[in-house]
């Protein structure tokens, strides 16, 4: 075809309109940071991802990207981790592992939406305005991990009746340590047991604390709710076995790992709800209008193998009320 004929055809032909292709929406990025460690949180991350998928159909690596950061029980690192995620312009901050993470997220941004977990009362601690209408840019899950400290002491007293000293392990760096100390001390007075508070601020303090309780002939020990303790779970369970001190913990993971007994919420279910809330926010929900979710189901888990190693007989009453018995 000659050039002039080609030009004529173009000039006389119907011109197809240019259609702009719609640009795909950018993949949302969740900034997930925790007081805990990656190694002890695999099942919790799996629960979070399940909630994220259930709520909004979000699948990691397909419809959502996730940036993970871990403080490994070092609260001092949390502000840096939160700031890093904010500067990476994530879509949403998920702050888990307790109050220190939630406060670090709130300090890092007043604009990005935040979904958090706390062990205590987020209203009393100033994180949100109310349970029904959190206000601001944050909402989350109240795991009520610190609420059952007195109940744990009572269960230990039922297992080991008498007048021997009960030790209570408390992390002096944990924001709620004063409330924990007051609660277990009052509970000790109520049941007529002397309570010995052991404050720890690092790994060496853990070993020293158990040695102190052993010298004092402690009849038992309550390990209070704290993310630092969770990251040292195997060490603590090992020390309890080494010094032969009957010990009760906050989460079933301790009992599954060889600990004697645990009483607390189902942590994996709490993290699943974090995923559900994160999915709702990614779909457009305003954190200010998402009510604080409270974990209200508590479970007692007893490890009878650990009891036998300590020479303890678990009463029929405790076994009957246990949600799970590990043999």
3-state SS record for 253-285 = HHHHCCCCEEEEECHHHHHHHHHHHHHHHHCCC
| Interhelix angle 42-56/267-282, nearest 10 degrees | 40
Determine the Cα–Cα distance for residues 96 and 70; give it in Å rounded to an integer: 10
CB burial of residue 106 (10 Å; 0-12, 13-18, 19+): buried
Can you give the pTM of this predicted structure?
Answer: 0.84
| pLDDT computed for residue 120 by the predictor | 85
Full 3-state SS string of the chain? CCHHHHHHHHHHCCCCCCCCCCCCCCCCEEEEEECCCCCCCHHHHHHHHHHHHHHHCCCECCCEEEEEEECCCCHHHHHHHHHHHHHCCCCEEEEECCHHHHHHHHHHCCCCCEEEEECCCCCCCCCCCCCCCCCCCEEEEECCCCCCHHHHHHHHHHHCCCCCCEEEEEECCCCCHHHHHHHHHHHHHHHCCCEEEEEECCHHHHHHHHHHHHHCCCCEEEECCCHHHHHCHHHHHHHHHHCCCCEEECCHHHHHCCCCEEEEECHHHHHHHHHHHHHHHHCCCCHHHCCCEECCCEEEEEEHHHHHHCCCCCCHHHHHHCCEEEC
| pLDDT computed for residue 25 by the predictor | 66
Q: Where are the domains of the chain?
A: 29-145+266-297, 149-264+299-326
Same fold, 29-145+266-297 and 149-264+299-326: yes
| pLDDT computed for residue 23 by the predictor | 54
Q: Are 240 and 247 in contact (CB under 8 A)?
A: yes
CB neighbourhood size of 190 (10 A)? 12
In order along its 327 residues, the chain shows pLDDT tens digits of: 444 443 333 344 444 344 445 456 689 999 999 999 999 899 999 999 999 999 989 999 999 999 999 999 899 999 999 999 999 999 999 999 888 999 999 999 999 999 999 988 899 989 999 999 999 999 999 988 877 999 999 999 999 999 899 999 999 988 888 888 999 999 999 999 999 999 998 888 999 999 999 999 999 999 999 888 998 999 999 999 999 999 999 999 999 999 999 999 999 999 999 999 999 999 999 999 999 999 878 999 999 999 999 999 999 999 999 999 999
- CATH entry 3.40.50.2300 includes domain 29-145+266-297: yes
The CATH code of domain 149-264+299-326 reads 3.40.50.2300
Determine the Cα–Cα distance for residues 230 and 91; give it in Å rounded to an integer: 28
| pLDDT computed for residue 24 by the predictor | 60
């Amino acid at each position: 075809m000659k050039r002039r004929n080609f030009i004529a055809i173009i000039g006389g032909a119907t011109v197809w309109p240019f259609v702009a292709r719609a640009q795909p929406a950018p993949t949302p990025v969740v900034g997930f940071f925790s007081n805990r460690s990656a190694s002890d949180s695999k099942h919790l991350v799996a629960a979070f991802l399940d909630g994220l998928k259930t709520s909004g159909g979000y699948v990691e690596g397909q419809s959502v990207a996730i940036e993970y950061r871990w403080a490994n029980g070092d609260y001092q690192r949390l502000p840096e981790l939160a700031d890093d995620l904010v500067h990476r312009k994530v879509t949403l901050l998920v702050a888990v592992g307790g109050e220190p993470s939630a406060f670090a997220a709130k300090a890092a941004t007043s604009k990005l939406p935040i979904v958090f977990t706390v062990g205590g009362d987020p209203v009393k601690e100033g994180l949100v305005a109310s349970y029904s209408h959190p206000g601001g840019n944050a909402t989350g899950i109240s795991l009520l991990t610190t609420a059952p400290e007195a109940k744990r002491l009572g269960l230990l007293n039922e297992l080991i009746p008498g007048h021997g000293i009960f030790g209570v392990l408390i992390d002096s760096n944990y924001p709620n340590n004063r409330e924990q100390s007051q609660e277990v001390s009052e509970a000790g007075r109520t049941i007529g047991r002397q309570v010995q508070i052991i404050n720890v601020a690092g790994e060496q303090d853990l070993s020293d604390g158990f040695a102190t309780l052993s010298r004092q002939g402690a009849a038992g020990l309550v390990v209070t709710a704290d993310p630092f303790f969770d990251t040292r779970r195997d060490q603590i369970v090992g020390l309890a076995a080494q010094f032969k001190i009957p010990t009760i913990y906050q989460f079933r993971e301790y009992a599954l790992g060889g600990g004697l007994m645990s009483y607390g919420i189902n942590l994996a279910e709490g993290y699943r709800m974090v995923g559900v809330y994160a999915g709702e926010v990614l779909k457009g929900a305003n954190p200010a209008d998402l009510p604080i979710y409270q974990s209200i189901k508590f479970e007692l888990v007893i490890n009878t193998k650990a009891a036998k190693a300590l020479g303890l007989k678990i009463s029929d009453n405790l076994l009957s009320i246990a949600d799970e018995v590990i043999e």
